[in-house]
Structure 1
Amino acid sequence: MSDFLQAVSEINKIDELLLQQYQMKKITENLEGALIEFKKFNHPEIQELHIGTADARKYASVKVFEQVYKTFI
């Protein structure tokens, strides 16, 4: 799979979890990409997503900033 298609796939997975009312709770970076933990408010369930492309990692960073910004408004 090309890097572009892989990035689009990873971005879609991030958006899908965010649309299901999950919030990003923890991002762990490593040499192979990033592991993102998603958690719903008042639910013990945690979803983990591994992303490998730089574009998807940048997108996740933007979504974290948006998430934090919304809590201050």
Structure 2
Amino acid sequence: MTEYAEYVLEREQIDLLIEKGYTIKHVNENLSGAFVTFERDKGDTDILHIKTADGRKYFSNLLFHKHSS
């Protein structure tokens, strides 16, 4: 899989969780990417491993816009 295709998959996974009402609660970055914890009001959690630089930029941008509005 190309890096772009991997990024598109990561972006789709993030967008799907956001559409389902999840919000980003915690980010743990390391040399293998970022582990992003999503949480919903019901207490449901999901963790995505974001490996691409563009994927990390994408969720960072979502966080920035969430906190600046």
TM-score of the superposed pair, with normalisation by structure 2 = 0.94
* Larger Cα-atom Rg: 1
Q: 5+ unaligned residues in a row in structure 2: which ranges?
A: none
1:7-50 per-position Cα deviation (integer Å, ceiling 9, x unaligned): 01001100010011100000100100000000012x12111110
The structure 1 segments of at least 4 consecutive aligned residues displaced by more than 3 Å after TM superposition are: none
Root mean square deviation of aligned Cα: 0.8
- Aligned positions, number: 69
Q: 5+ unaligned residues in a row in structure 1: which ranges?
A: none
TM-score of the superposed pair, with normalisation by structure 1 = 0.89
- Matching residue of 1:67: 66
Identical counterparts, % of pairs: 36
